[in-house]
Structure 1
Amino acid sequence: MNNNIHNPDVLSCLANLSSDEVFTPPEIANAMLDLLPQELFSDPSVTFLDPCCKSGVFLREIAKRLNKGLEAHLPNREERLGHIFRNQLFGIAITELTSLLARRGVYCSKYPNGPYSVVRFDNAEGNIRYKHITHTWRGGKCVFCGASQAAYGEQARQEGLESHAYEFIHANNPNNLFPMNFDVIIGNPPYQLSDGGGDGSSAQPIYQKFVHQAKRLNPSHLAMIIPARWYSGGKGLDNFRAEMLNDQCMKIIHDFPETADCFPGINIRGGVCYFLWGKKHKGDCLIVNHKNSDTTKMVRPLLEKGTETFIRHNAAVLILSKVKALHEETMDNRVSSRLPFGIPSNFTNYTRHADIEHSIILYRSDRSKHSDKKVFVAPINITKNIKWKDSMK
């Protein structure tokens, strides 16, 4: 036998579907499972749900831990595995393809009612369900997820493209998906969907909808890995940001400013994070910053006293204290957020020459496709901060 043969975990070798639907490496899945109270894996009554299955890695790694942790309760291995797979592990796949992949990873057979399944079910899904869902269109957008009808509507389906209508967030009542309560919800949701804006490349975040829906199921523990852009809000994330930063149940956040430190070969602007939310936890949060192989840890509130912004880096907390002690003017009084005047980049309701109605100068970006860089708009078009119109900018 050659001991030098490399035998990698097949789930660590999968190519990602896209930068929006990223497979979770087994080591990251286990790092997230390490955040949970480990006595959960010795309790035969605890139930687990992955509401966004892709490879099935979370359920597979949970099964390994339960198989070991329940030996004292269920000494017979066949009986133990039957109990684990039938009564404790549940998943919702995001596409038909990932449903087959997840079942193969969890049950060792894409058809769990077949002869090769670790545990034989009476149906071809086992406890990893997939149901083709259609979007509900209103005004060109899906009322559940905000997907663009132009990008994901009937024409896309006729061309054989995936609709990306995820069952978990298209349910009015997620409790109807499974007739039971879940102690632990864990997963890596899809990150964004095209919203039909711009030249077709514009997209809106969708991962926050999975977090919201998971909380509606009232689990004891919730762990998800998501883009870190929610720290600063914007693009439909302002309410989610406020909710997360003021949630006393946020127990742990592992932060990766460089996505590659978590997902090798993937670049997601702003990095990613994974978190643990605990229903019984009340108080400060453990923030773990990752950079290359270095980590820093600090238990602290998500919002420092007198601030409205999450301070991402632990080292910056002490710097903030020193700066605030000087009582000088801060940058938030000198810079603005996106769309300071409420005028989007594709705004066209302007004139080339000033008149009685259009009296305010608008300087267009050098990136504009139009030659007119200095145009004129009406005061009614300035929907925010009109008091700034005569100030230096």
Structure 2
Amino acid sequence: MIYKIAVQDARYQLDGSAGSDAIHRDPIYSYAVTQLIDDSGITGTGFAFTLGEGNDLVCKAAQYYAQKLVGKDIEEMMADFGTLFRQLADDQQFRWLGPHKGVVHLALASVTNACYDLWAKKRGVPLWKLLTDLSPEAIINTLDFSYLEDELTKEQALSLLTQEQAGKASRESILQTGYPGYDTSIGWFNYSDEKVRENCKKALAEGFTAMKLKVGSVDPERDIRRAHIVREVAGESVKVMLDANQQWNLPNAITICRQLATMNPYWIEEPTHPDDVLAHQTLARQIAPVKLALGEHVPNKVIFKNYLQANAAAFIQVDAVRVGGVSEFLTISLLCKKFGIPVVPHVGDMGQLHQHLVLYNHIAMGHEALFLEHIPHLQKHFVHPARIRNGVYETPQEPGSSCDLIALRN
């Protein structure tokens, strides 16, 4: 039984120009951390991710949600978590502040993720194993399909998961080989051209076969020059992604994306405002065959549904610390599976949580094991940091979701 909660504001100043992009020039990587302590002494840890200011607001909202879980048994709660998730997401006091977005939804992510962490620790297994060992029915009961029924009902989702059961055993080989990663830290926005060049060489030496550069400069020529530097160093066989972090309006995006196409990007990410589905649809048509990726700032399953319906993105970057946590992440992953679109999560949490979720997506849902973003700057703060070797995430073995922070450890 959960008998105590703790919510804490954890902020980490980055070194140098790390983390910078076209919009966020001096981020402070921050977590709104929820801890659920049960009567056996086990602590479930979850968090949402912010860039500093406002992290305290997310913490305050998380406190409100977490308090509602005191006195509940984790196994009983997770047996029908989809119902509880909808009740919390539609809380009459908080829903007006969203619905299903912003401070309150980030807070719900923190609390939801703590629930899944506690559940896995209670069973003594890593989160990926907890999820892959659950029956399709048990997984579906942790999810909320409200507002998706025009595209994916609970029954359809169950059928989809059940069909994928036959291939699970063959896909479990990923647990031995590890999940491929890609390096985002080569090309932060404030890095010099020379630093980008050197970081590309370093990433190649470390075994990465994919990497990402931040674009969105006032002068597009800077973006074009730097993109070609990465392509020159990486070679044609390496996947190179470009990330504009919402910097452009639609006319500018069309023009600049066409110019960037000359270096053969694997995708162009977050080209314009994340709420503008139709702008992305237009852009996707205008710049084809160059592909778009998005999801870092898409807050909920309904907007992802709209993007999929509009055929406006070739890669979905749903983030379990942006949407309402693991539950909504898995719901969106099922929706993407139905549409045949790969899930390549945004990793605002340094990959700690998502390394578990992509394993589940591949093994149980049959999603392609494409790759998972790797950002190394906060690894030293985790009790069990994600392990990357030769550009590949090693499968975590410790119970839980790998989200315990050293400074907050009980």
TM over 0.5: no
Structure with greater helix percent:
2
TM-score normalised per structure 2: 0.27
Larger-Rg structure: 1
TM-score normalised per structure 1: 0.28
